[in-house]
Amino acid sequence: MSQGLARRKTLRAFGKGLGLKAAASGECELLGAALTHDSYAFERGDRRGLSANERLEFLGDAVVGLAASAWLYARHPDEPEGRLSRRRQALVSGPALAKTAARLGLGPMLRLGKGEAAGQGERRPSILAGAFEALVGAVLVLEGYDAAARFVERSHLAQADDAARIDPRTALQELVQARFKQPPRYTFEGESGPPHARVFRAHVAAGGVVGTGTGSTKKQAQAEAAAQALRKLTRQTVNLP
């Protein structure tokens, strides 16, 4: 069996498992493109990256944002625009999309350049998030917006209740500002790990408590630190006489 035929058979089985009948039929060209990183395309002479997933990612990004907005609008009829916006930001963030991509098994299906593959690019949140958006873009091209939005709802939004919660940094900001009339203060305590897998450490001081956190980005480290500070402040409130 040729390498190309084997790849198509794998793509068909994978696509059908996700319920993507159109994308998993025939030559699976768009499904294959959605799962091809630009590093792989560039290594094969496609300097414009037209056979990679960046153009599909561009489409999918718009669909994910609109689908998330409509989903939140229907589920939270009593919330103001500002709070809905923060929920949407959490839902469409890179880490949230990467988590869904990993759960769907996109990582092992990705075609990566040698450098990205050696650096375990299939686990990198930015690459996983982009692949999910590209997959959504492929569904949009083949089946239209309604089908793409349904795919986003069933594969991501319906599974992402935790991500729909307000970002812990925002929640901490609102709580501390209201209670202590001053914002939290964040500092970074350093970073470690190889260049392709950096780990950042953050510290936050808020309302007399401190929180620490780590993450693959400074934003993630801050969020973990904020979540820890929030838990401490909440316990303080509960224990008040």
Give the CATH number, domain containing residue 188.
Answer: 3.30.160.20
| Rounded-to-integer distance, Cα 79 and Cα 195, Å | 41
Query: How many domains, the chain?
Result: 2
Q: Print the domain residue range for 88.
A: 3-164
Q: Are residues 91 and 57 in the same domain?
A: yes
**pTM of structure:** 0.69
The residues annotated as belonging to the active site are 61, 133
Largest CA distance in the chain: 74
- DSSP code string of 11-76: HHHHHHHTT-TTTTSTT-HHHHHHTB-HHHHHHTT-TT-TTSSHHHHHHHHHHHHHHHHHHHHHH-
Is 241's pLDDT higher than 60? Answer: no
Q: Are residues 95 and 153 in the same domain?
A: yes
| Rounded-to-integer distance, Cα 108 and Cα 73, Å | 34
Q: Are residues 113 and 232 in the same domain?
A: no
| Rounded-to-integer distance, Cα 73 and Cα 84, Å | 7
The model's pLDDT over 2-39, given as tens digits with 9 standing for 90+, comes to: 667 888 899 999 999 999 989 888 889 999 999 999 99
- Would you say 212 and 228 are in contact if contact means Cβ atoms under 8 Å apart? yes
The structure tokens listed for 100 are 């869904």
Q: Are residues 75 and 176 in the same domain?
A: no
Q: Are residues 149 and 190 in the same domain?
A: no
Q: Are residues 66 and 156 in the same domain?
A: yes
Q: Are residues 35 and 78 in the same domain?
A: yes
The model's pLDDT over 44-57, given as tens digits with 9 standing for 90+, comes to: 876 666 678 999 99
Residue that is last in its domain, among 145, 164, 183:
164
- Would you say 34 and 140 are in contact if contact means Cβ atoms under 8 Å apart? no
